[in-house]
Amino acid sequence: MATEYAGFADIADIADYAAPAVAAPCRAGVISGKPGNIFVPKDEATRAERVTA
């Protein structure tokens, strides 16, 4: 499962239990991370990030 978002520089910060919840939208092209090729799983999403599609 980790290979589906292996491009993120901070992949080690994505918890095992959260992997399916990250991989599915990555596969679907719904999320692509933040500038700098990071996902930042421990940050809170801004309102704009939640509605941007």
- Residue 51 CA to its chain's centroid (Å): 15
Contact 10, 38 (CB under 8 A): yes
Residue 40 has pLDDT above 80, yes or no: yes
What confidence score (pLDDT) does residue 51 get?
76
| pLDDT tens digits for range 9-39 | 998 898 999 888 888 888 888 888 888 889 8
Question: What is the C-alpha to C-alpha distance for residues 48 and 12, in angstroms, rounded to an integer?
Answer: 25
Contact 1, 25 (CB under 8 A): no
